[in-house]
């Protein structure tokens, strides 16, 4: 079946695919400051992108300052002016999200598409570009907050009320965010869309790994951690890995909220071990839990975002 509907993410390829374009890869990169620069084309509502959060979080811990990840928005859902791939309205996405949640082993609540569906992924994408104009660390916390809102808490992040809520939670200046959101962030978002098109990006996640000379190694779709590491090693064979503490509290100090799958990836323990430990920590009041039908989000209690 020739699926070109961006919201039907193919588990076999791990890609949320856009309609094909004929442009060849024309991306031009300046020399990376760090050993490896990763240009990551994504979207706040891309379920396959949510699926690789565990791999990316571990990658940042293992390679630290030796890698730099540049986030680019790809524009997964402009609007609902199409009918393809078995999806013609928001309610068609609900069951699909529940299915890929089980495949990626990441909590996703598909009922948002029945209760408060998004008209477009452009508003949260533009909001992220506005956040980039403020603070590099907070922009990533903001994007994570948006993802947790839509995938776990069933909040329609195309609405300003939720965008503002996420911004407030991570400490962004909401007045400045609103101004940039309505003005120059739109221009930067259009530049991201053009860069994605010119680079031949046809789906998300798409990651390009660059060395300091501009040589490139691509990685497409949902892949296990070993593929991410292999891409780094191929583009920069001498790159050094960092040792990081795999103690449960250290992991929650690295990342304020974690899914069970993320905790397993970062700690290196089995599913049964992770489930047992996390549930014990919840019982003793060390961490909080938010359960949905397809998984759990854990949070260290009394810890700032």
Structure confidence at residue 20 (pLDDT)? 56
Taking CA atoms, 254 is separated from 51, 108, 258, in Å, by 19, 23, 10
Distance CA 244, CA 62 (A): 7
CATH topology of domain 33-203: Glutaredoxin (3.40.30)
Distance CA 96, CA 45 (A): 13
Structure confidence at residue 93 (pLDDT)? 92
Structure confidence at residue 15 (pLDDT)? 78
Structure confidence at residue 85 (pLDDT)? 58
Contact 106, 51 (CB under 8 A): yes
CATH architecture of 248-300: Orthogonal Bundle (1.10)
Structure confidence at residue 188 (pLDDT)? 98
Q: Where in the chain are all domains bearing CATH 1.10.10.10? A: 248-300
Contact 174, 162 (CB under 8 A): no
According to DSSP, the β-strands at 295-300 and 287-292 are: antiparallel
Q: Which residue, 57, 10, 2, 5, is CA-closest to 220?
A: 10
Q: Tokens 């609900």 belong to which residue?
A: 94
Distance CA 186, CA 181 (A): 7
Q: Where in the chain are all domains bearing CATH 3.40.30.10? A: 33-203
Q: Tokens 């089995």 belong to which residue?
A: 270
Spell out, as residue ranges, where the chain has pLDDT lower than 70. Answer: 1-7, 18-34, 82-87, 303-305
Tokens of 191: 């530049």
């Amino acid at each position: 079946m020739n699926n070109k509907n961006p919201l039907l993410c193919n588990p076999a390829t791990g890609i949320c695919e856009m309609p094909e374009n004929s442009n060849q890869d024309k991306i031009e990169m300046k020399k990376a400051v760090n050993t490896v620069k990763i240009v990551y084309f994504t979207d706040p509502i891309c379920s396959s992108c949510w699926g690789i959060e565990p791999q990316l979080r571990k990658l940042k811990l293992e390679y630290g300052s030796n890698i730099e990840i540049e986030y680019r928005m790809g524009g997964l859902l402009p609007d609902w002016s199409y009918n393809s791939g078995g999806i013609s309205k928001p309610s068609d996405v609900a069951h699909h999200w529940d299915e890929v949640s089980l495949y990626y082993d990441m909590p996703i609540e598909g009922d948002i598409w029945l209760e408060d569906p998004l008209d477009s992924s452009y508003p949260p994408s533009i909001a992220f570009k506005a956040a980039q104009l403020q603070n590099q660390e907070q922009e990533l916390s903001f994007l994570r907050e948006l993802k947790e809102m839509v995938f776990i808490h069933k909040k329609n992040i195309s609405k300003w009320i939720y965008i503002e809520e996420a911004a407030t939670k991570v400490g962004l200046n909401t007045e400045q965010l609103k101004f940039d959101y309505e003005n120059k962030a739109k221009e930067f978002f259009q530049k991201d869309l053009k860069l994605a098109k010119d680079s031949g990006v046809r789906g998300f996640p798409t990651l390009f790994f660059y060395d300091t000379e501009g040589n490139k190694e691509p990685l497409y779709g949902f892949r296990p951690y070993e593929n991410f590491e292999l891409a780094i090693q191929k583009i920069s064979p001498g790159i050094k890995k960092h040792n990081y503490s795999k103690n449960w509290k250290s992991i929650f100090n690295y990342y304020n909220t974690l899914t069970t799958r993320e905790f397993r990836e970062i700690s290196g323990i089995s599913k049964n071990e992770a489930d047992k430990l996390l549930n014990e920590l919840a019982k003793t009041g060390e961490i909080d839990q938010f359960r949905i039908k397809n998984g759990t989000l854990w949070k260290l209690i009394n810890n700032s975002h």
